[in-house]
Every structure is written in C-alpha cells, then in structure tokens.
Amino acid sequence: MTAIQLLSGVAFAGGVLALGVLAALTVMHVSWSQFAHGSLTDRSLVVAAIEVVCIAAAITLARRRRPLATGIMLGGLTLLIHFASYG
C-alpha cells in the first residue's frame, strides 16, 4: 500500500506539472515551441510556481498521508533536477 501511495504522489506531481505548463502557455499566449525556446526566466518562473504547489501539497499531506507527500516531493525534486540539468 505504501508503494501505491508513493506512486500516486509522483503521478499527482506529474499532473500538477502538466496543468502548470498548460496554464502558463494559455496565459502567455504562446505555442509550445515558442515556450520551449523562449527565455530562461519565463521557464524558471513556471517551474518555480509548480514547485510551490508541490511543496504546499506535501506540507498539507505530511501528517496524515506521509507516503503520498513523499511521492509528491519526489516528483517535484525530479522536475527540479531535470530543469537544472537541461534548462
């Protein structure tokens, strides 16, 4: 049961990532290729906003559902490491 909750947290973080990028593209009125090749500042702000949502969700769930919160943090950390590596 713990592994399922952990993977659910990672899936939640992936969903937050997808919705965050979709919302950013909608708000900025750009296509995916323009966003991917745009400025590093724009992409950094989107990643920072997604990380804030992941951290807030993990803190909220930390007491009651620790494996789920750990999965969310794992997904957020994976996003952060990926962004730091590839920009």
Query: What is the value of pTM for the model shown?
Result: 0.80
- Residue 72: Cβ within 10 Å count: 29
Contacts for 66 with CB less than 8 Å, ≥ 6 apart: none
Quick: pLDDT tens for 4-53.
888 888 888 888 888 888 888 888 888 888 888 888 888 888 888 888 88
CB–CB of 57/68 below 8 Å?
no
Quick: pLDDT tens for 40-65.
888 888 888 888 888 898 899 888 98
At residue 1, the pLDDT reads: 56
Quick: pLDDT tens for 64-86.
988 888 888 988 888 889 888 88
Q: Name the packing angle between helices 40-61 and 2-28 (round to 10°).
A: 140
At residue 36, the pLDDT reads: 84
